[in-house]
Structure 1
């Protein structure tokens, strides 16, 4: 009888997934039963494999990590999803947890933290890497940009993030597998909600919220 924890790995970089698999397979408690390179594949794989836990990145082509989390949890409210991301900013952690993730750790964490986090969420706990929410009680920015971003849909948030990083609308469309006109419409809505006119102003907002480095 196999009592191992079954896991599905979701990351658009094959080398990263190989590293995940090697790390998790080094012990005798976790078995990787599937891999996906994007959210759409992850949703299908989850339905086919019904793994105990999903370990996934947030930044992926297609529907993206946040929307993937939301859709998996929508289909299975008991789904256990651990985010393993390069993003350490609180806005990403909060959005991932609000979407339904049960844990969040960063890719620069100690290797053993991955298995520790999986064990914790399997026990029914919420596991967030120490320090990621350390500023939770700090005063919020004087404007209401953070509150507005909190109301963004996962797709709006992804478009905002990529535009703020300096991507053109066409590159955003390619990254998210959307039409150029669709991205342009999202960009217009986002700027209207944030009451700005340019992508430079979007970048300033992202910097002020700690999403980008100055």
Structure 2
């Protein structure tokens, strides 16, 4: 039986080294490429065509959600396992919407990651226990989150707006025109009922799309406009 070939995507070299060593100690697992951002992940996938992509979501610039989307647009058969610190159901559900095959949090036991890689490589779906509980709780909870009505691309743009990115910066990251980003921005505000970008920031924080501790809440992005 041939090895499971893996592309590992994470922006921290030391983190990649640690997980590479963990995975390569497993019989039948072989790391064939690494990447540190969404663009290099896409190029690496096209170059090596791995059996499984292990994808972090917190990448510089465009997030892992956009990387999953881009890879899956190029290869509908791509098997992508999201492996991230984001433990909220909102991110997990959006990841599956754009084509991820599994979602495991970095707080999970190492054995969960190893099992998930094997399952995803066979075409299955994998969830770490904590995420499975989060999704179940979300499905049972009422009312629904404001972000439930947003598509994956709208969710990514909301995240970038909340991080303080300008229209031109978002357009460059997502390879779209500024006009298209402006249209998305308007649609997002309309769907979630946010009159200003300040409201969008708080909605993104509430949905777990951004961490409040990482934001400068006194910056211009939080001013009404």
Give the TM-score normalised by the residue count of structure 1.
Answer: 0.82
Tell me what 2:219 maps to.
none
Q: CA deviation at 1:16?
A: 1.5
Q: CA deviation at 1:147?
A: 3.4
Tell me what 1:33 maps to.
32
Q: Report SS of the residue matched to 2:142.
A: coil
Q: Report SS of the residue matched to 2:31.
A: strand
Q: C-alpha offsets along residues 69-124 of structure 1, whole Å, 9 cap, x if unaligned?
A: 12212222211100001111111101111111110001111112111100111232
The count of aligned residue pairs is 206
Tell me what 1:130 maps to.
129
Q: Does the CA contact (< 8 Å) of 1:10 and 1:55 recur in 2? A: yes
RMSD after superposition: 2.9
Q: C-alpha offsets along residues 109-162 of structure 1, whole Å, 9 cap, x if unaligned?
A: 1112111100111232200111312314313326x723322x3x42x3223124
| In structure 2, distance between residues paired with 1:43 and 1:138 | 36
Tell me what 1:160 maps to.
158
Q: After superposition, where does 1:11-160 map in structure 2 within 5 Å?
A: 11-132=10-131, 133-141=135-143, 145-149=146-150, 151=151, 153-154=152-153, 156-160=154-158
Tell me what 1:169 maps to.
165
Q: CA deviation at 1:53?
A: 0.5
Tell me what 1:193 maps to.
191
Q: Does the CA contact (< 8 Å) of 2:147 and 2:155 recur in 1? A: no
Q: Does the CA contact (< 8 Å) of 1:61 and 1:177 recur in 2? A: no
Q: CA deviation at 1:188?
A: 4.3
Q: Report SS of the residue matched to 2:76.
A: coil
Q: Does the CA contact (< 8 Å) of 2:168 and 2:178 recur in 1? A: no
| In structure 2, distance between residues paired with 1:33 and 1:8 | 6
Give the TM-score normalised by the residue count of structure 2.
Answer: 0.78
Q: Which runs of 5+ in 1 are unaligned?
A: none
Q: Which runs of 5+ in 2 are unaligned?
A: 213-225
Distance 1:172 1:162, change over 3 A: farther
Q: Report SS of the residue matched to 1:137.
A: helix
| In structure 2, distance between residues paired with 1:71 and 1:204 | 28
Give 4+ residue runs of structure 1 displaced > 6 Å after superposition: none
Q: CA deviation at 1:49?
A: 0.7
